[in-house]
Homo-oligomer: A and B are copies of this chain.
Amino acid sequence: MASSAVPDIVIGRLPVYLRALNYMAEAGQEITSSHELGQKLGISSAQIRKDLSHFGEFGKQGTGYRISHLQEQLKRILKVDREWEVALVGIGDLGHAVARYNGFKNRGFRISMLFDSDPSKIGTRIDELEILDAVKLKEQLRARNIQVVMIAVPAAHAQQVADDCIEAGVHAILNYAPITLTVPPGIKAQHLDPVVYLQRMSYYL
């Protein structure tokens, strides 16, 4: 398993496969095929087989994939067979919604720290979790050995927050602010600006 050789675009599809398998499993389904997965996801079955072949043999010709086995293997490959603690920085409207979002459960991530710089928010709670003072961001991330953060601060502050997180040992940043973060080699950043996704569709309208 030469994982360093797997193209990032392949890695990007694995979570989508895993999510589809989770739905099938929840519906009580036990076996699937690259054909069925492909149809659901709008990806060719050949592409799915090729993507998975980077990591070994998961199914037999003609018998398809055992869903529970493929789920387990994908979770292991994506390192979500454990639970990562995640810090969320910026508790505005969007941050608040993300903090309350229940879609993280059982998928490898748990929001365990909230930060904001607004004195009227610091010390208040969302569900069980207290909003901490962003002034202590670096110190607290280090103390908890946090490697994954989500940033939902205004665009003008996002790069500084990202720099602080990276300095504190963070390696993966999911950024909701509408700006592309500049990060050093070895640090991963993903961007969730809805307008970028709308614009890549309006091209086709």
Q: Which residues on A are within 8 Å of B, measured CB to CB?
A: 8, 11-12, 14-16, 18-20, 23, 39-42, 77-80, 84, 86, 92-94, 96-98, 100-101, 103-104, 107-109, 147-148, 150, 155, 171-174, 178-180, 182-183, 188, 190-205
CB pair B205–A79 under 8 Å, yes or no, is yes
Contacting residues, chain B, for A192 (C-beta < 8 A): 192, 194, 197
> What are 16 A-to-B residue pairs whose CB atoms are below 8 Å?
A8-B200, A14-B199, A23-B155, A39-B182, A41-B180, A42-B182, A79-B203, A79-B205, A84-B198, A84-B202, A93-B96, A93-B101, A108-B199, A108-B202, A148-B198, A190-B197
A165 CA / B63 CA spacing, docked (Å): 37
Q: State how many copies of this chain the complex holds.
A: 2
CB pair A109–B195 under 8 Å, yes or no, is yes
